[in-house]
Amino acid sequence: MFNLDKAIAEWRRQMLAAGIKSPVPLEELEIHLRDEIEQQTKSGLSETEAFKTAIQKIGQAHVVQNEFKKVEERMGSRDCKLLKTLVVVLTSLIALGMGCMVLFKTGFVIKIMLGMGLGFELPVVLLALVKSGVLNYEKLVSLRRYVIVWNLILGALLTTPEIVTQVITAVALQALYEVSARIAWYWERQENKAQKS
């Protein structure tokens, strides 16, 4: 004897195996399936036949999953845009802070605190950009020479106008940059390995 609920449970399992993980689409698909079966049985088909045609019409699990994946990818690209805006906002805030500091000749302690805070934020921003695909190891390396100049300028602005502290700050910032680049390199290698296997 054909058991509809059992058959639907089995179909759900197959869809899950194909990768439709989020419960909402699957639930929606199941409701659709039940609607279709109901309609078919009304027009005279047996439940077994109705179930067979219904799952055929809904499409193969991996094909449907592919379509859902495309939706997720698009969402991903939107997240990336959000990240870009975030970076732009962050950098303009930094520039604004700098301008204020220069104008009002802020004290050394405030400056160094702000400098360290922003400096240690740098790897987070950089690696977020790497993850979202805006930057990669190669780009980070090619940007290095500009970053060195920029770090020296930052060093001058963030510390007392004296060469030793300037260089120390610049070196610290550069080290953070190098660490970020190294992590990006490591991620890429991992990804390549995963793709090969």
Question: Per CB under 8 A, does 12 bind other proteins?
Answer: no
CB of 59 to other proteins, least distance (A): 4
Inter-axis angle of helices 61-104 and 144-158, nearest 10? 40
Which conformational region is residue 84 in: left (phi greater than 0), alpha (psi within -120 to 50 degrees), or beta?
Answer: alpha
Whether 17 and 61 have beta carbons less than 8 Å apart is answered as: yes
- Angstrom CA distances, 193 to 187, 188, 190, stand at 10, 9, 5
From CA 92, how far away is CA 88, in angstroms rounded?
Answer: 6
The residue to which tokens 């780009």 are assigned: 139
Question: Per CB under 8 A, does 182 bind other proteins?
Answer: no
Cα 141–Cα 142–Cα 147 angle in degrees, nearest 5 = 80
Residue from the set 2, 21, 59, 144 that interacts with other proteins by CB under 8 A: 59
Residue from the set 50, 64, 173, 176 that interacts with other proteins by CB under 8 A: 64
Q: Which is nearer to other proteins, 33 or 181 (CB)?
A: 33
Residue from the set 8, 25, 136, 174 that interacts with other proteins by CB under 8 A: 25
From CA 50, how far away is CA 65, in angstroms rounded?
Answer: 23
Question: Per CB under 8 A, does 13 bind other proteins?
Answer: no
Return phi, psi of residue 83, to 5°: -60, -40
Contact segment (CB under 8 A) with other proteins among 4-12, 58-66, 110-118, 171-179 equals 58-66
Contact segment (CB under 8 A) with other proteins among 42-50, 52-60, 95-103, 120-128 equals 52-60
Contact segment (CB under 8 A) with other proteins among 62-70, 108-116, 124-132, 161-169 equals 62-70
Residues 72-91 that bind other proteins (CB under 8 A): 74-75, 78
Residues of the shown chain interacting with other proteins in the complex, contacts defined by CB under 8 A: 25, 27-29, 31-32, 34-36, 38, 54, 57-59, 63-64, 67-68, 70-71, 74-75, 78
